[in-house]
Chains A and B, each alone.
Chain A
Amino acid sequence: MTDRPALHAYLLGRVEFDALLALQRRLAYDVGGDRDGGAVVVCDHPSGITVGREGSRAHIRPEPEELTARGWPVRWVARGGGVLLHLPGQVACYPVLPLDRLNLTPAAYLVELQLLVIDLLAEYELRGVPDPLAPGVRVNGRRVAHVAAAVRGGVTAFGLVLNVDPDLEPFRAVHCDGDPLPMTSLQRESTARVRVAAVRQRLVEAVAARFGFARVSLFHTHPGLAPRPATHASASATR
């Protein structure tokens, strides 16, 4: 027990979705056992589509053959929200937090995530507004961030995806969160040059500040992400 709760922040690069799911499970296990702490994963994903519980195949316009040609695997995931297209240039921020210690309901937590994004946009002199149709944030009428989470054992998973500077054209093929309007990005809306690294760092700081963490431990890897041999060394030696 400490009166200075610590946030373990994992500033990672590109993380395969399977690896992210395993890492989230591991972090949720850790946080579930020590509810004074918390974690956040900041990363991006290889191009692909995830479909939450509110999503539909109808929101993905390309046929399976075209999805294969584009190299967009489709995964159905146990989170709220709808369809998300993951592209380079986005930043995903996945807090792993005990909601009971934070005294937040799941709905209040989603609001906090939206406010976190709105505050971040304000630093770039942009006025973000919560999306009234589905959790997320809009700038000038277009979605710039998606908020979609899961709560398991009182611990959060998934979180938010922010379009920092992705190629926006591919979004025409996917109605993210069911929204047929084109997406936008932080770089498209901002007059200043936006550095992805700075946004990643600010997201970590924003999560720590908004959820009351006095200390932030910063990691650039996690042992759970280390590549593993396909077979055990002793097993292959006996072949």
Chain B
Amino acid sequence: MRRTPITLPDLGVARAVLSLWYARVGDRVFAGDRVAEVLIPGATVDVPAPADGVLASQAVLANDPLVAGQMIGEIEAEAGE
């Protein structure tokens, strides 16, 4: 099954941390749904799902440091998509 990585966009800072996941592994999401929240000094930023499907993995946990472009999880397309 095809997997699409969820990558951290460029937030303009060298480092961010994962604040929390809004979706659990196995949750069905659509492209654009917020799946995670990232924290930079002074702001929270939602991370959207890049594709329709099921959240297949969470590569990072809350409070893990992140850098732009880092893969934080994966969306797996459902059968028939």
Binding site for B on A (CB under 8 A): 52-54, 78-81, 104-110, 134-135, 147-153
Residues of A within 8 A of B45 (CB): 106, 150-151
Nearest B residue to A133 via CB reads: B41
Nearest B residue to A111 via CB reads: B12
Is A108 a contact of B12 with CB atoms below 8 Å? Answer: yes
Closest CB in chain A relative to B81 CB, distance in Å = 23
B side interface size, CB within 8 A: 17
Confirm or deny: B71 has a beta carbon within 8 angstroms of a beta carbon on chain A.
Answer: no
Known: A151-B44, A152-B34, A152-B46. A80 touches B39 (CB 8 A): yes
Q: How far is the CA of A120 from the CA of B46 in the complex (A)?
A: 30
Besides the known contacts A54-B42, A150-B43, 5 further A-B residue pairs in the complex with CB atoms under 8 A apart: A80-B41, A81-B42, A110-B41, A149-B43, A151-B44
Residues of A within 8 A of B12 (CB): 104-108
Is B44 a contact of A150 with CB atoms below 8 Å? Answer: yes
Nearest A residue to B32 via CB reads: A153
Confirm or deny: B7 has a beta carbon within 8 angstroms of a beta carbon on chain A.
Answer: no
Binding site for A on B (CB under 8 A): 10-13, 19, 32, 34, 37, 39-46, 48
Closest CB in chain B relative to A52 CB, distance in Å = 8
Closest CB in chain A relative to B76 CB, distance in Å = 23
Is B43 a contact of A148 with CB atoms below 8 Å? Answer: yes
Closest CB in chain B relative to A133 CB, distance in Å = 9
Known: A53-B19, A107-B12. A78 touches B44 (CB 8 A): yes
Is B44 a contact of A105 with CB atoms below 8 Å? Answer: no
Summed over the interface, the residue pairs from A and B with CB atoms below 8 Å come to a total of 65
Secondary structure of the B side of the interface? strand
Is B11 a contact of A79 with CB atoms below 8 Å? Answer: no
Q: Which 9 A-B pairs have the closest CB atoms?
A: A105-B12, A107-B12, A135-B42, A80-B43, A149-B43, A80-B42, A151-B45, A107-B13, A150-B44
Q: How far is the CA of A54 from the CA of B13 in the complex (A)?
A: 16
Nearest B residue to A99 via CB reads: B45
Q: How far is the CA of A107 from the CA of B37 in the complex (A)?
A: 15
Is A106 a contact of B43 with CB atoms below 8 Å? Answer: yes
Residues of B within 8 A of A147 (CB): 42
Known: A108-B12, A150-B44, A151-B46. A78 touches B39 (CB 8 A): no
Q: How far is the CA of A52 from the CA of B43 in the complex (A)?
A: 9
Residues of B within 8 A of A53 (CB): 19, 39, 44
Q: How far is the CA of A212 from the CA of B65 in the complex (A)?
A: 34
Task: Give 18 pairs: A residue, B residue, CB < 8 Å, sorted on A.
Answer: A53-B19, A54-B39, A54-B42, A79-B44, A80-B44, A106-B11, A106-B43, A106-B45, A107-B12, A107-B43, A109-B43, A110-B42, A134-B41, A150-B45, A151-B44, A151-B46, A153-B34, A153-B48
Closest CB in chain B relative to A153 CB, distance in Å = 7
Residues of A within 8 A of B43 (CB): 79-81, 106-107, 109-110, 135, 148-151
Residues of A within 8 A of B10 (CB): 105
Is B46 a contact of A105 with CB atoms below 8 Å? Answer: no
